[in-house]
Structures are given as C-alpha cells and as structure tokens.
Amino acid sequence: MKKIATLFSIAFAFVAMSASAQQYKFAQINSQELVMLMSEMDSARVKLQAYQMELTETMEAMQTEYNTLLNEYQQKQATWGQAKRESKEQQIQDIVRRLEEFNVSAQNEMQQMQQVYMGPVYQKAQEAITKVAKENGFTYVFDISAGPLLYFDEAVTTNLLPLAKAELGIPAEKVAPTQLPVEGQAE
C-alpha cells in the first residue's frame, strides 16, 4: 500500500512539473479593428452601399406610386362609382402588399449580400490571425472585440494586431476610425 502511495505521489509530482514546465503564450486582438483596416472592407462597403442605394431607389419609386394613387383616391373617391372606387381600393391594397413584400425581400437580400461581400474579408482576417498566432507560438488568442473579457493582463499577453496588420500588408501607422464625424460638426 505504501508503494502505491509513493508511486502515486511521484506520478502526481511528475504531472505537476510537466504542466508547469509547459509555457503557454497568450495574445489578444481586436478583430473588428483589423477588419475595418483592410482595404477589402472598403471595397465591400462601397459595393454594399451601391446595392442598398438600388434597393432604396426601387422602394422610393414604389412609395411614390402608392402616394400618387392614394392622393388620387382621396381627392376623387366621392365622384367615382362603386366599381371604380373598389378597383382603386384594390390597387392601393396591392401596392401596400408589394411594398411590404419588397421590404422583407430587400432586408433578406441585404443580409445575403453582406455575407457575399464581407464573408471573404472576415475569412482572410481569420486566416491571417491564425497564421501569425501559429508562427509566433501562441497557445490562445482572445478576441477582445467579441465581448468583454472579465480580465486580462496586457503585460503577459501580446497584442496580435500589429503582426496581423503586417501579415495583411496594412501600414503600421494606419488606424481604424474611432468615431464618424457628425454632420455639421467640425472634424
């Protein structure tokens, strides 16, 4: 029994020593900041804005058609017969239904287009983070943009952002905008 206890103690000491001998390296990165610095994000944003503008123009044209038909109905309904009034009411209901359907469809399309244009940007950023983390022997990389960490000691972690920026060819001095200027406010 004494031999088993001694062997168990030796095994425990060995495990404890090997665990403490293993060196863990920690890093943190704000992946959103990295993505915002990428030129591909600028391109994706421009494409999304153009697509959104197309959808907005279509919605505005449909809204104008609705407003015109509604104004005509409100001004002339008293002079129309029942058949014409019912026909115009049906047209108004059809436009309202089309507006609602278009709005839902446009929102779904915007989400799909965001994935199409921004998905590759996020993937490229993730690949760069993974590559520099492996090259530099990091065990864990915490994404501080994903939500608050309760605590991390910056003295024992490495900010991976400069390494990831270098990997992606982003100039070291380039920084992400922290706040967009408010219209009419001095910059």
Global pTM reads 0.68
User: Would 81 be classed as within a structural domain?
Assistant: yes
Tell me the one-letter amino acid at 130.
T
Averaged pLDDT score across all residues of the chain? 85
User: Would 66 be classed as within a structural domain?
Assistant: yes
pLDDT at 33 over 90: yes
At residue 128 the predicted structure's pLDDT band, cuts being 50, 70 and 90, is very high
Q: Which of 36, 44, 32, 35 minimizes the C-alpha distance to 118?
A: 44
141 DSSP β-pair partners? 27
pLDDT value, residue 5: 43
pLDDT value, residue 71: 95
User: Would 61 be classed as within a structural domain?
Assistant: yes
143 DSSP β-pair partners? 29
User: Would 47 be classed as within a structural domain?
Assistant: yes
pLDDT value, residue 21: 46
pLDDT value, residue 104: 96
User: Would 173 be classed as within a structural domain?
Assistant: no
pLDDT value, residue 157: 86
H or E stretch at 9: helix 2-21
Q: Which of 163, 166, 102, 98 minimizes the C-alpha distance to 137?
A: 163
User: Would 95 be classed as within a structural domain?
Assistant: yes
User: Would 130 be classed as within a structural domain?
Assistant: yes
pLDDT value, residue 178: 65
Q: What is the mean pLDDT of residues 16-40?
A: 80
Count the domains in the chain. 1
pLDDT at 19 over 70: no
Q: What are the Cα distances from residue 71, in Å, to 64, 83, 102, 184?
A: 10, 18, 22, 36
Please indicate whether residue 119 or residue 17 has the higher confidence score (pLDDT): 119
- Asked if 98 contacts 69 with a C-beta cutoff of 8 angstroms, the reply is no
The DSSP secondary-structure symbol of 79 reads G
pLDDT value, residue 184: 45
Cα separation, 182 vs 125, in Å, equals 29
User: Would 15 be classed as within a structural domain?
Assistant: no
* Helix runs in 28-152, H state only: 31-37, 39-76, 82-135
> Which residue range forms the structural domain that includes residue 93?
24-168
pLDDT value, residue 186: 45
Cα separation, 133 vs 142, in Å, equals 11
Of 3-17, 75-89, 100-114, 161-175, the least confident: 3-17
